Amino acid sequence: MSDRSAPASAALPVPPVADARPWPSEVPVLIAGGGPVGLALSALLARQGIASLVIEADDGYCAGSRAICMSRRSLEILGWVGADQATVDKGLPWVGGRSYYRDAEVLHFRMPSEPGERFAPMVNIQQYYLEAFAHQAALACGPLADVRFNARVTAVRHEADGVSVNIETAQGTQEVRAQWLVACDGGRSTVREQLGLRMEGTQYEGRYVIVDIVQKTQRDVERLAWFDPPSNPGSTILMHRQPDDVWRIDYQIRDDEDPVEAVKPENVLPRVQSHLDMIGETEPWEPLWISIYNAKCLTLDAYRHGRVLFAGDAAHLVPIFGVRGLNSGLDDAGNLAWKLAWVLQGRADASLLDSYSTERVHATRQNIAYGAKSTEFMAPPNFAFELMRQATLRLALDEPGVRSLINPRQSAPIAYADSALNGPSDFGGECAAAAPGMPAPEARVDGGHLTASFGHRFTLLWFGGSVPADIAALAQAHAANVQLLAIHPAGSTPQEGTLVDPDGQAFQRYGAQPGTLYVVRPDGYVLARWRAPQPDQVRSVLAPFLQTPADGARHAS
């Protein structure tokens, strides 16, 4: 069972197993790891005009049950490279979630949604589909994205102005020199091992068996959880529907159970059958995958080490509860891609990459804090936590006020509130949700969505009225790096090329008045904002990112 990566009904593109193309001797960016993070990063870099070489040790897409839940923010990032529609078409959007104590429902929540939203808050889809869609997006970029499977990093050597990497391939060992190496090679990262780096944090003892089965069902797409269910007393069970009639089932085993024995089919299948019987799922089923998992809260202290950068599981490992693993990895890629492109093209100093490390380490520590709380509830690490959980579950039977404590906080974009990149704001304490360091809010404009405009350049968002000539001239002078979007309220007569805010959503979410200006980073985060902007202020905020190539090249080491 564990050697099957997808049901027979899954129509997946198949990457080449053998690749006879000659190997380049030098590349601007070498990406170790061809999972969703590495492939998405390659596509994002290509969109910025940066060539990369992705190498993946496996000979195809991932096998088995990996990440399955994609957040709205991740779908926005995939949208910047054109991989969003395939994901939405294949994925299953969450309706909500339910939790049960024994056989009594103690929590029912609905996912927040609104008419005309671009993406659902959370979508279930198997990781191998995401790898295929990200791979297709990278290949669509032409020769800028070179992806090679069945190629493994064996040695990494730092040099004064780059990194030399030995790669084991079907044609023998190849040596490739890169200006920058990005390690996206997972929790057992060879690059991390080669540099002698270790992640620090907590590894929990509680183990979960992960089982994928194929079974038809009519249930809604909900996050389902049972605590101490009659079908498996003393256990915690999670269920998610996935495409292709696949159920992902996670159940906790006792501390005294042998993990080797726990994953044997003769021990797994009866427990699954018992639970399916209990919840009334009577259709025939077959197993696809069985594995075991225990939660980890681990991170490197820094994600930049000279010319080597770390992203995804190579940089951090967070618990599955709250679905932060792959989602945080894609946020790494979204944050890193534009900064690495700016440095390579001489538009910014290489110190910009230090902000990648600072911002994403901060995000990981926030994710770990939330993930640790969820883990301590889902898999109590000791008797005291077990008592607290039992008390919460019993109270939840009759006290609605405590039921929210049962639901793990789902993945959400992390604010970079103290980032050194954050520019000024003259809003006072108003509209904190769109302050510098926050992800720029989504809003409907002209039948489309504002976040679809991000992901490539800096964006000047001008609200209402005519754009001052100095602001327009600034954007025009740096059109390769800066775009100007003017947003007008409904009922006004905007100039050609501007956007209309049909129901006031953009003005409301950005706390805007006529004459308000926002500067949004290429990764969709707010850089600065003013109600009364001055052209010199805007130039000053953008100056570190608008160096001429000659100036930037002198500082690219």
**What structural domains does the chain harbor?**
26-92+122-199+297-373 (3.50.50.60), 202-296 (3.30.9.10), 432-548 (3.40.30.10)
Query: What's the rounded mean pLDDT across residues 440-452?
Result: 91
Between 283 and 114, whose confidence is greater? 283
Task: Report how far apart, in Å, the C-alpha atoms of 25 and of each of 105, 158, 166, 455 are.
Answer: 60, 16, 11, 30
User: Which of 27-41, 104-118, 437-451 has the weakest average pLDDT?
Assistant: 104-118
CA 90, distance to chain mean position in Å, is: 18
The answer to whether the CB of 552 falls within 8 A of the CB of 346 is yes
Give pLDDT, residue 494: 62
CA 546, distance to chain mean position in Å, is: 28
Pick from 259, 252, 483: nearest CA to 377? 252
The whole-angstrom separation of Cα 338 and Cα 421 is 14
Q: In this model, does residue 411 exceed pLDDT 70?
A: no
Name the strand (E) or helix (H) holding 343.
helix 325-344
Q: Tell me: the pLDDT tens digits for 414-444? A: 899 899 999 999 998 888 889 999 999 999 9
What token pair was written down for 213? 């089965």
Q: Tell me: the pLDDT tens digits for 373-395? A: 777 777 777 778 778 877 887 78
Q: Is 419 exposed, middle or buried (0-12, 13-18, 19+ CB in 10 A)?
A: middle
The whole-angstrom separation of Cα 523 and Cα 13 is 29
Give pLDDT, residue 406: 73
Three-state DSSP at 306 gives coil
User: Which of 145-159, 278-292, 339-353, 543-557 has the weakest average pLDDT?
Assistant: 543-557
Give pLDDT, residue 24: 94
Pick from 183, 76, 60: nearest CA to 119? 76
Give pLDDT, residue 553: 45
Residue type, 67: A
Alpha-carbon Rg for the chain, nearest whole angstrom, is: 24
**How far separated are the first and last CA of the chain, in Å rounded?**
49
Between 33 and 496, whose confidence is greater? 33
Q: Indicate the pTM of the whole model.
A: 0.92
Q: Is 58 exposed, middle or buried (0-12, 13-18, 19+ CB in 10 A)?
A: middle
Q: In this model, does residue 399 exceed pLDDT 80?
A: no
Give pLDDT, residue 557: 42
pLDDT band at 255 (very low <50, low <70, confident <90, very high): confident
Pick from 198, 241, 279: nearest CA to 92? 241
Q: Which string of DSSP letters, residue by residue, matches 194-238?
A: HTT---EEEEEEEEEEEEEEE------SEEEEEES-TTSTT-EEE
User: Which of 107-111, 401-405, 454-458 has the weakest average pLDDT?
Assistant: 401-405
Residue 540 φ/ψ, nearest 5 degrees: -65, -40
The whole-angstrom separation of Cα 538 and Cα 554 is 24
Give pLDDT, residue 427: 93
User: Which of 156-160, 191-195, 204-208, 329-333 has the weakest average pLDDT?
Assistant: 204-208
Q: In this model, does residue 38 exceed pLDDT 90?
A: yes
The answer to whether the CB of 213 falls within 8 A of the CB of 271 is no
Cβ neighbours for 411, distance < 8 A, ≥ 6 positions apart: 69, 71, 73, 122, 322, 323, 324, 327, 328, 367
Between 245 and 205, whose confidence is greater? 245
Q: Tell me: the pLDDT tens digits for 189-220? A: 999 999 999 999 988 877 899 999 999 999 99
User: Which of 267-271, 357-361, 401-405, 486-490 has the weakest average pLDDT?
Assistant: 401-405
The whole-angstrom separation of Cα 172 and Cα 150 is 11
Query: What's the rounded mean pLDDT across residues 55-74?
Result: 89
Q: Tell me: the pLDDT tens digits for 461-498? A: 999 978 999 999 999 999 999 999 999 998 776 666 68
